[in-house]
Amino acid sequence: MYYVVYGLLYLLSLLPLKVLFLFSDFAYTVLYYIVGYRKKVVYYNLCIASPEKSDAERKEIAKRFYKNFTDNFIETIKLLSASTAYINKHFAGDYSVFEQVEQQGKKAQVHLGHNFNWEMANVAVAANISQKLLTLYMPIESKLFDRLFLKLRSVTGAVMLPATKIRSAILPWRNTQYALALVADQSPAEPTNAYWVSFFGRPTAFLRAPENGARVGNLPVIFSSFVKTKRGHYKATFNLVEESPSKLSKGQLTKRYAQFLEAFIRQNPDMYLWSHRRWKLVWKEEYGQIIN
């Protein structure tokens, strides 16, 4: 079954992007107007993030989000047959910060959020840096699609590390100068095992692992974001925000990341994945203090 699905998607990926976007337009119409995929979650999140906006303004952001959401999947399918030249044409960035860290003889961590198109970012970064890109991912429950996405995400050399087995999976790379990419805006499963920081004016739980890993290894940390310059084309920004995270007090790196992410989202509200429940956890005193 894997080869059947892979073969069909590969053939689909050979179509010109302009043709593929017709599928995206259709999917947008179905998801937004007919199915209403996670609309309640999207509007709930937008109300928290943009209380100053009118309902009409939030509705317009939601529509643009759903268009970016369906484009994200279509652009990802295109990657199955995309060349490195195609990837670099559609995803541009200045990767010199990676060279700077490598010249210092150090490893690095890259913190990003659910910012479209993170799948294209993964293959583009892997194709353009000297270090081996290690990307942390959550295994997909469907073995078929998990295998498919592993294939797709590795086309330019990225090494995918399952978050469920990160300690053992990263061991073979411990003596190399890697860059570890982490989508750091996930909600933790356990609220007491989180850094609680202000995010859009609300106490919000962030995973401890990204910061803790950087602090233990004293790894330089790069924050990354991407903007859409036109449909199907992106420009990435990579900022070296901390060279010695071990010198920071606990929670400060996470706070800075939350501030970075919030500032980006305020400027580009339709480029964020509003369909995931970012505020599903509600802070209580027993969860610990909110980091200021």
pLDDT tens for 38-74 read: 999 999 999 999 999 999 999 999 999 999 999 999 9
Answer yes or no: is pLDDT of 223 > 90.
yes
Answer yes or no: is pLDDT of 281 > 90.
yes
Answer yes or no: is pLDDT of 288 > 90.
no
Mean pLDDT of the chain: 95
Kindly state whether residue 290 falls inside one of the protein's structural domains: no
pLDDT band at 129 (very low <50, low <70, confident <90, very high): very high
Share of the chain above pLDDT 90, in %: 92
pLDDT at 210: 95
Kindly state whether residue 292 falls inside one of the protein's structural domains: no
Q: What is the mean pLDDT of residues 23-46?
A: 97
Kindly state whether residue 194 falls inside one of the protein's structural domains: yes
pLDDT band at 292 (very low <50, low <70, confident <90, very high): confident
Q: What is the mean pLDDT of residues 79-84?
A: 95
Give residue-wise pLDDT tens across range 133-191.
999 999 998 999 899 899 999 999 999 999 999 889 999 999 999 999 999 998 898 99
Kindly state whether residue 291 falls inside one of the protein's structural domains: no
Kindly state whether residue 151 falls inside one of the protein's structural domains: yes
Residues of the domain holding 174: 2-283
Kindly state whether residue 107 falls inside one of the protein's structural domains: yes
What is the count of structural domains for the chain?
Answer: 1
Kindly state whether residue 100 falls inside one of the protein's structural domains: yes
Q: Which residues partner with 277 through β-bridges?
A: none
Kindly state whether residue 146 falls inside one of the protein's structural domains: yes
Tell whether pTM > 0.85. Answer: yes
- Per the CB < 8 A criterion, the answer to whether 97 and 257 are in contact is no
